[in-house]
Structure 1
Amino acid sequence: MSHPEPRSRSRKRAVQKAQREAARAEKRRSHPRRRPSSTFLREVNYPHSIHPALVPGVSVEDQRIRYGVDKAILGVVGALIIGFVAWGLAAPQQVFDTSTATLQWVMRNLGWAFNVLAIGMILFLLVIAFSRFGKITLGLDGEKPEYSTGSWAAMLFGAGIGIGIIFFGPYEPLTYYLSPRPGAHYDANTAQAVKGAIAQAALHWGLNAWAIYAIVGLAVAYVSYRRGKVPLMSAVVTSLWGGRTDSPVARLIDALAIIATLFGTAATLGIGSLQIARGVEVVAGLGPTGNRLALGIIGVLTIATIASAVSGVAKGIRWLSNINMVMALGLALFFFVAGPTAFLMNMVPAAIVDYFGHMPDMLSANMSEGPEMETFLSAWTTFYWAWWVSWAPFVGVFTAKISRGRTIRQFVLGVLLIPSSIIVLAFAILGGTAIFLQRKAEAAGDAAHMIAPDGTAASLPLPAEIFYTVVDQLPGGGVVSALVIVMLGVFFVTTSDSASLVNSQLAQKGNPEPNKLITAFFAICMAGIAVVILLFGGRNALQGLQNLVVITALPFALVLVLMAVALVKLLRNDPQAIREHYQEKAIQKAVKHGVTEYGDNFALAVEPTDEADERATGGDFDSTAPEVTEWYTRTDEDGNPVEYDYGKGEYVEKDTLDG
């Protein structure tokens, strides 16, 4: 049974209620009636009369841009490459000696920079992906992904397949098995070395590699499909200081991207031609041909690349690329079925666990640990980080193009996990098969079938030959070798064609349909660099490849860091980030006010406040500041501001304004 309240308490509550009602009435009288947002925005000096939190994004396709050949970039880069190729043809040994000495200096003094980059980028991307920025779309608000998840994953998968898997797949893990990294947690030629060798290869080709690609892809996709800027490295970096993409600094950034891509891709084409040549020797029963056959192959395949570039048969090249992807899957399946299936089934999961378990130890290896470690890192880990830096503009632009409409979180997780998983699995299968065959022959005392006859890395055949040595011990090896030659040839053409296209776009202010002759010119430049690498001869070719890649990638490594910093700056002022800022402040202040004034029972309402009011949501945010408004000002082809109606999504023509 309830008891009535004391009369004094009831009277007190009635008085408090009356006071609250009087206060609300006074507030309604003191504040003007809420104006429609469109009227309010017209009275404030926002570009196109829209609050920065309401901008749906700007796509580069909707911008009025005048593309054209950047003669300064094309002239300077072209002259440098032609000069280098001429020097390499005239004095290849001098180039090799000079690049080797430069490499040694870079490794001793700046090798740490590549290691910091490889570690830092993966941490940076994961933080971005799982922060409040992870929900931001790489496109306009509400834009759906351009490709289905299955197609997108397949294209990322295809991006992870190339010449490197076939060239290094059996060779690299077998090398680590026979000659572990100094200070490794396993001894050579042991059961533990099987897992450790696969894990070391996975480190070089896995998550850290794709983090380097992903930072370029994420930054380019964001500025192109969300900020309306041309897909150039300079468009990202110059946002740090509000510079233009035609400034000298911007041109230098894009020139460095082109140079890094030229040398990084040329290195791939060089090892590809070596492996094709060795395959032809094996399948056709030819004797050693030196580098003559490889040089001829570069010439023929470069002609095929140029024909593709100038004839507009890109659709056919993509079709061949898809066939190559299927053939690569078939190759992995062949190794898995025809090779040591049970051994691989047991070894692969264990190697993956070893990879994650010893990743900190492998990443912590550095040049200060002595001459042996310096030699190892120069030949392997640091070289790989530099190689991936040189490939970052090429692969990054590709991943950006196929990822429109994805959220940042989807992009980061997809680009990090899908291609790296495929590559690590491929290395585990190819490398695991090579190690198994070596161990089997050693156990049987069968020197004829040992890949390394004396059980040391020094006795391994040339890297271009090891794949065929392994395949020869599997059933149907001759047929597989012939198919692999075809695969490598298509990989060569598609890689050269795609990289030339990206370089041509960079030299033409981001033009999505660049001049075909300039594209062909860059294909010739890459072929020339690859020829110089081959002229170093024998094992020096691989050493020369490492020299040139590391040296030319170093300047672009700094650009990657600047791109990461610029991306954070842009994301902080993204419309969605601004809306979340308002949301957080509005709820926080409203709840505090509600509890203070009304206790447990209150409702939230949207109403105007004075700027100085402690409940004002945007009291600490300047919504008219240049950094949050200038970027969505639409301009004509000459950079002059023009009117744009975001409500209709169209430009306001001058005669409409006059009327």
Structure 2
Amino acid sequence: MTETSGTGAVAPPGSRPPWHRTIAPRVFWPAAVIIVGFVLFTVAFPTLVGDTISAVQEAVIGTFSWYYMLIVSGFVLFAIWVGLSHYGDIKLGPDEEEPEFGLRSWFSMLFAAGMGIGLVFWGVAEPLNHFAGIPNRATGITQDEQGAQDSIVQTFLHWGLHPWAVYVVVGLALAYAIHRKKRPVSIRYALESLLGRRIRGWIGDLIDIAAIVGTLFGVATSLGLGVIQVAAGLDFLNVVSDPGNLTYVVLIGAITSLAVVSVITGLKRGIRWLSNFNISLAGVLLLFVLILGPTLFIFRDLVQSIGDYFQNLLRMSFNTTAYEGESGTEWQGWWTTFYWGWWISWAPFVGVFIARISRGRTVREFVAGVLLVPTAITFLWFTVFGGTALYRQLFGEGGLIGTDETGANTVDTEGALFGLLEGLPGGTIMAVGAVILIVLFFVTSSDSGSLVVDMLASGGDPNPPTWSRVFWGVMEGAVAIALLLAGGLSALQLAAILIALPFSVVMLGMCVSIWRDFRAERRTMLRVQRRLQRQEITEHVTHSLIDEGLVEPNGSAGRAKDQVPEQS
């Protein structure tokens, strides 16, 4: 089969169109200009950008933290409602089609989507940071048993149902558009029932541009976190000392180069092998800490923390720290508001992935699988790593929380995982494995992220050209470098919050679009059912009348037995 170019000329069989015709120019170029412009300006004026970020931070977080809390909690309620409603029977694909992947494979891939650099980075660090002084802000009591419990539950909030409800909204809207309505892989088509033909114009272009920029900054945030932790691991292993910006830039350049090589070679088997190896290595690390750590305590803590989480879920979901002044606003920016922004910026990437693997599933299966499976895994992960760290701090030798010159509690956020592993037998070997794990997560996340971004920038082409995937992969590394130069971890966090703001509006539109699509399909289905029921009732009554001799088989009225024929 031959391909035609945009001018109507026939391309030779087996050839691809010219490079400039493999992209959607109204989406690709604006997104590329925004990203490249940000990188160049930040590298040229890192201090200015850093000062601007600091100046904007308080205003943005103080203004929009309530908004993020409200909409993400709304996404949880929306996802649960859709899954439990009569819309749950709708198939994400043709009605007669079976799921593309078996249940075990589907769950495994959802597990893979739930794992990432973020879990490795925050698995120990977040519970310890909360325990160091955050959970009991109302009482002022910290570093006690209740504070430890609260720190795990607060972490569960950030990594449990809420992020996956965000992914449910985007993934469900895309899966319905792609598999049910046969639309291209493009964010704009998830809003088709809301915007109509306008999605094919400049409004649709803006939607895809926002998705590309948001996804790229979200992935870059994860890559920045990963590189910071890799540098801390190399410092722990005495490979480098006192890592700084130069170390971060070199590491990002080296690891991004590996990701680019994986794109160029196109070795799908190799990428699949790396992904499977990632999951296996993460599982080994989890079992290592579970077995050599306080195993019985971990299982008890898991059960107790899950109960505490669901008991306090509603209260925590809407807690905006309104009565805690500037300290409450600062805390929101470091934690809950940052996480909600981060998940929203990741939503196009993860949404496309889970939509792709969910063809043939019902809406109810989709919601239940996406909400429950990754949530259960992350609960286990944080209980094993965070629970072990808290146990050592409370009942063991401690050493994971220090103090600064003012006497305030401090946590080595970047090196917390390695500090935990150091206290376990064979911890140095596991530290090497952890560094390898983060690097491989970097490579696979960059490659997959660049593929998703490239599909959006190529008008929904599921097999975009290699050159543009390389371009977006390089841009992910460049944005991570720029953010680290502009302010390190705080710049990464604020970027996620800011970039997520426009796409959050798109997600609200997706909720409306899903409801309108499902309602229209439900009405059509009910009309068909009523018509079939009427036909069935009519046929049943007709057969009954025929059996009783009141109607002839040809449909004419029968004659009663005692009726006398009319004389001519």
How far is 1:587 from its partner?
A: 6.3
Q: Secondary structure at the match of 2:464?
A: coil
- What does residue 553 of structure 1 align with? 500
Q: CA deviation at 1:184?
A: 5.5
Q: Give the letter for the 2:431 counterpart.
A: S
Is 2:440 aligned against 1:486?
Answer: no
In structure 2, the partner of 1:207 is 161
Contact 1:181–1:376 at 8 Å: present in 2 too? Answer: no
- Mean CA deviation greater in 284-293 or 456-465: 456-465
1:156 equivalenced with 2:106 (yes/no):
no
Distance 1:460 1:367, change over 3 A: closer
How big is each residue's C-alpha offset from its partner over 1:63-113, in whole Å with a ceiling of 9 and x where there is no partner?
xxxx94111221111111111111111111211221232232222222222
For 1:70 and 1:422, locate their aligned partners in 2 and report how far apart those are by CA, in whole Å.
Answer: 38
Deviations 1:417-445 (A, max 9, x none): 0011101110111111111111235xxxx
What does the per-residue CA deviation read over 1:321-357, in whole Å, with 9 as the maximum and x for residues that have no partner?
Answer: 1111011111111111111112212211111111111
Q: Could you report, residue by residue, the CA deviation over 1:175-201 in whole angstroms, capped at 9, with x for unpaired residues?
A: 111212465689411111222111100
2:201 is matched with 247
Amino acid at match of 2:128: L
Worse overlay, 368-377 or 269-278: 368-377
The one of 482, 490, 496 equivalent to 1:543 is 490
Structure-2 change in CA distance of 1:514 and 1:589 (3 Å): closer
Q: What is the one-letter code of the residue matched to 2:294?
A: P
The partner residue of 1:521 within 471, 474, 480 is 471
Q: Does 1:580 find its partner at 2:529?
A: no
Cα distance in 1, alignment partners of residues 69 and 318 from structure 2: 8
Rate the CA distance shift 1:461–1:109 in 2: closer, same or farther, 3 A: closer
In structure 1, C-alpha distance between the alignment counterparts of 2:534 and 2:152, rounded to whole Å: 51
Q: Which residue of 2 aligns with 1:113?
A: 67
The reply to whether residue 510 of structure 1 matches residue 477 of structure 2 is no
> Partner amino acid for 2:462?
P
Matched letter for residue 134 of structure 1: G
- The alpha-carbon deviation at position 393 of structure 1 amounts to 0.2
Matched, 1:334 2:291: no
Cα distance in 1, alignment partners of residues 436 and 296 from structure 2: 30
The sequence identity of aligned pairs, in percent, is 36
Q: Which whole-Å CA distance do the structure 1 matches of 2:103 and 2:346 have between them?
A: 25
User: Take 2:155 and 2:168, find their aligned partners in 1: how far apart are those partners?
Assistant: 20
Q: Which amino acid aligns with 2:466?
A: K
1:222 aligns with 2:176: yes
TM-superposed CA distance for 1:524, in Å, is 1.1
How high is the TM-score relative to the length of structure 2? 0.87
Task: Look up the equivalent residue of 1:462 and give its one-letter code.
Answer: D
Query: What do the CA deviations read for 1:495-526 (whole angstroms, capped 9, x no partner)?
Result: 00000000000000110000111111111111
SS state at 1:463 partner: coil
Query: Displacement, 1:460?
Result: 3.0
Q: Which runs of 5+ in 2 are unaligned?
A: 1-20, 541-568
TM-superposed CA distance for 1:228, in Å, is: 1.1
Residue of 314, 317, 320 corresponding to 1:366: 320
Q: Which residue of 1 aligns with 2:92?
A: 138
Q: Which residue of 2 aligns with 1:498?
A: 448
Shift of 1:159: 0.8
Equivalent-residue separation in structure 1 for 2:321 and 2:492 (angstroms):
20
Q: Which residue of 2 aligns with 1:394?
A: 349
In 1, distance between residues paired with 2:321 and 2:460?
Answer: 39
Aligned equivalent of 1:427: 382
1:20-53 per-residue CA deviation (whole Å, 9 max, x = no partner) reads xxxxxxxxxxxxxxxxxxxxxxxxxxxxxxxxxx
CA distance in 1, matches of 2:140, 2:128: 14
C-alpha distance in structure 1 between counterparts of 2:520 and 2:493, whole Å: 40
User: What is the match of residue 436 of structure 1?
Assistant: 391
- C-alpha distance in 2 between matches for 1:366 and 1:431: 24
Q: Give the partner amino acid of 1:215.
A: V
Where does the alignment leave 5 or more consecutive residues of structure 1 unmatched?
1-66, 595-659
Structure 1 counterpart of 2:145, from 183, 187, 191: 191
- Tell me, yes or no, if the aligned pair for 1:340 and 1:436 is still in contact at 8 Å: yes
Quote how far apart the aligned CAs of 1:118 are: 1.1
| 1:243-392 equivalence runs, <5 A | 243-366=197-320, 368-369=322-323, 370-392=325-347
Cα 1:227–1:374 change in 2 (3 A) is same
Q: Aligned to 1:228, what secondary structure does the other structure show?
A: coil
Contact 2:231–2:240 (CA<8 Å) still a contact in 1? no
Aligned counterparts of 1:85 and 1:230: Cα–Cα separation in 2: 30
CA spacing shift, 1:403–1:339, aligned 2, 3 Å = same
Aligned to 1:453: 402
Is this contact kept in 2: 1:348–1:428, CA < 8 A? yes
Does the Cα contact within 8 Å between 1:111 and 1:367 map onto a contact in 2? no
SS at 2:96's partner residue?
coil
- Aligned 8 A contact 2:27 2:457 in 1: yes
Separation in structure 1 between the aligned mates of residue 345 and residue 163 of structure 2, nearest angstrom: 11
Please, what TM-score do these two structures have when normalized by structure 1?
0.75
Residue 374 of structure 1, CA deviation: 1.1
Contact 1:108 1:367 in 2 (8 A): no
Query: How far, CA to CA, are the matches of 1:584 and 1:179 in structure 2?
Result: 62
Q: Distance in 1 between matches of 2:225 and 2:121?
A: 7
Q: Tell me the alpha carbon deviations over residues 133-177 of structure 1, each in whole angstroms, 9 at most, x when there is no partner.
A: 100100001100000000000110111111111110101011111
Q: 1:69–1:286: structure 2 CA closer, same or farther, 3 Å change rule?
A: closer
Counterpart residue number, 2:5: none
| Pair 506,217 (structure 1): closer, same or farther in 2 beyond 3 Å | same
How many Å separate the matches in 2 of 1:70 and 1:506?
8
Larger radius of gyration: 1
Q: What's the offset of the Cα at 1:246? A: 3.4
Deviations 1:246-276 (A, max 9, x none): 3100000000000001111101000101111
Deviation at 1:227, TM superposition (A): 0.6
CA distance in 1, matches of 2:41, 2:411: 30
Change (3 A) 1:459 1:183: closer
* Distance in structure 1 (CA, Å) of the matches to 2:279 and 2:141: 36
What's the CA shift for 1:459?
4.0
Question: C-alpha distance in 1, partners of 2:63/2:86?
Answer: 38
Kept after mapping to 2: 8 A contact 1:231/1:510: yes
Classify 1:577/1:146 alpha carbon distance in 2 versus 1 (closer, same or farther; 3 Å).
farther
- Tell me the residue number matched to 1:568: 515
Q: CA, structure 1 residues 414+185, in 2 after alignment: closer, same or farther (shift >3 Å)?
A: farther
Is structure 2 residue 116 aligned with structure 1 residue 166?
Answer: no
Match in the other structure for 1:466? 416
Q: Per the alignment, do residues 454 and 170 of structure 1 end up closer, same or farther by CA in structure 2, a change over 3 Å counting? A: same
Distance 1:185 1:340, change over 3 A: farther
1:309/1:520 contact within 8 Å kept: yes
When residues 380 and 590 of structure 1 are mapped into structure 2, their CA distance, relative to the original with a 3 A threshold, is same
Q: Give, as a single letter, the amino acid of the residue that structure 1 aligns with 2:501.
A: L
- Measure the CA separation in 2 of the matches of 1:579 and 1:101: 54
Aligned partner of 2:512: which letter? V
Distance in 2 (alpha carbons) for counterparts of 1:166 and 1:184: 30
- Deviations, residues 593-618 of structure 1 (Å, cap 9, x unaligned): x9xxxxxxxxxxxxxxxxxxxxxxxx
Which amino acid in 1 is paired with 2:417? F
Contact persistence 1:386–1:549 (CA under 8 A)? yes
Find the aligned partners of 1:532 and 1:482 in 2 and give their Cα distance. 27
